[in-house]
Amino acid sequence: MRTRGVKTFIGVSYFPAKLNANFQRYFTAAGFRVPAMEGIAVQFNDVPKFPPAQIADFIKAVDTTSGVEP
List pLDDT tens digits, range 18-65. 999 999 999 999 999 999 999 998 998 999 999 999 999 998 888 766
In sign, the C-alpha dihedral spanning 63, 36, 33, 1 is negative
pLDDT of residue 70: 55
Total domains in the chain come to 1
pLDDT of residue 69: 61
Give the H or E element holding residue 60: helix 52-66
Task: State which residues form the domain around 31.
Answer: 2-66
Distance separating alpha carbons of residues 63 and 69, to the nearest angstrom:
9
pLDDT of residue 66: 65
Give the H or E element holding residue 61: helix 52-66
User: Does residue 11 register a pLDDT over 70?
Assistant: yes
Q: In a 3-state reduction of DSSP, which class is residue 23? A: helix
